[in-house]
């Protein structure tokens, strides 16, 4: 184990209850900020030129028939994409297909042709992801636009502040060890690396928390309210934003490790004071 990783392990072991509480708060805020920014980026993007259909399968359909239906759907000229979604174990259903159809297609004709196959018990056409559309309307409303931007800025500032506070609390409980590292001749990189790593871990943990929440939403949320595609886009964007926040957390960790007075300065001050006392 390298000296940097060993010191990082000792830093984590030195965290007290308050430091752990601040760390959990930092991870939670990173997850919240990543999710909110991912949702905002999804809401402001232009609408796609396609229509989504939900095709519920009839009961007791075989796996071979499902595979054949998937091939037939992809062979349809008006169909852009097709995705089979297995129903949760708690629901007695054969699942459904989520079908994306070209916006210019004759929707009634497409639905009538699919019904004629005899494999679907119901085919519906939700106009859009209702939750997404309601949030888009609220976000783009002129009266709320500046309020939303102010709220996002406040959330970003609060997240970075809590990350800094958590790192500063970790450093406060690790001062003695840092002073020993200085006296033993450890390099600045060895003393800075644990705080950079800890700050980055806050961002990574927050990104993974977003993915876990969205995975649960994809399993339990009704597809008529928000499509799995929208949830997948949120997951990708949330994870990437979490990685960016991990970089910012690492930068804050480096800043905390260099904050005056450094262990070296205090050690020199202590030695000078001791020398003066002896005279």
CA distances from 122 to 96, 167, 186, 208 (A): 9, 55, 69, 36
Mean pLDDT for the chain overall: 80
Percent of the chain with pLDDT over 90: 28
Whether the pLDDT of residue 60 is over 50: the answer is yes
Whether the pLDDT of residue 215 is over 90: the answer is no
DSSP string, 5-53: HHHHHHHHHH--HHHHHHHHHHHHHHHHHHHHHHHHHHHHSPPPSEEEE
Summarised one tens digit per residue, pLDDT across range 128-166 is 555 666 666 666 666 777 887 888 899 999 999 999 999
Summarised one tens digit per residue, pLDDT across range 230-247 is 777 788 888 899 999 999
pTM above 0.85, yes or no: no
CB within 8 Å of 131: residues ≥ 6 apart: 225, 226
Whether the pLDDT of residue 76 is over 80: the answer is yes
pLDDT at 28: 94
pLDDT at 3: 82
CA geometry: angle 27, 33, 39, nearest 5 deg: 135
Whether the pLDDT of residue 252 is over 90: the answer is yes
CB within 8 Å of 54: residues ≥ 6 apart: 96, 97, 98, 99, 123, 124, 125, 126, 223, 224
């Amino acid at each position: 184990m390298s000296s940097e990783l060993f010191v990082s392990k000792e830093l984590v072991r030195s965290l007290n209850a308050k430091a752990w509480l601040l760390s959990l708060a930092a991870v939670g805020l990173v997850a919240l900020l990543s999710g909110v920014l991912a949702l905002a980026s999804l809401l402001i993007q232009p609408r796609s030129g396609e229509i989504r259909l939900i095709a519920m399968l009839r009961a007791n359909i075989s796996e071979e028939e499902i595979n054949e239906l998937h091939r037939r759907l992809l062979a349809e000229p008006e169909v852009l994409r097709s995705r089979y979604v297995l129903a949760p174990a708690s629901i007695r259903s054969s699942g459904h297909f989520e079908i994306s159809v070209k916006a210019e297609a004759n929707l009634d004709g497409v639905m009538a042709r699919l019904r004629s196959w005899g494999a679907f018990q119901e085919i519906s056409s939700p106009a859009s992801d209702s939750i997404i559309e309601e949030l888009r309307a609220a976000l783009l409303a002129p009266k709320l636009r500046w309020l939303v931007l102010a709220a996002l800025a406040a959330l970003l500032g609060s997240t970075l502040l809590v990350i800094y506070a958590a790192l500063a609390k970790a450093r406060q409980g690790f001062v003695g060890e840092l002073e020993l590292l200085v006296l033993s001749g450890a390099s600045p990189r060895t003393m800075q690396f644990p705080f950079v790593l800890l700050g980055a871990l806050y961002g990574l943990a927050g990104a993974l928390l977003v993915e876990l929440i969205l995975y649960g939403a994809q399993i339990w949320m009704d597809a008529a309210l928000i499509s799995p595609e929208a949830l997948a886009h949120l997951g990708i964007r949330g994870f990437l934003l979490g990685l960016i926040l991990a970089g910012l957390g690492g930068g804050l960790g480096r800043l905390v490790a260099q904050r005056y007075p450094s262990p070296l300065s205090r050690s020199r001050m202590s030695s000078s004071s001791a020398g003066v006392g002896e005279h």
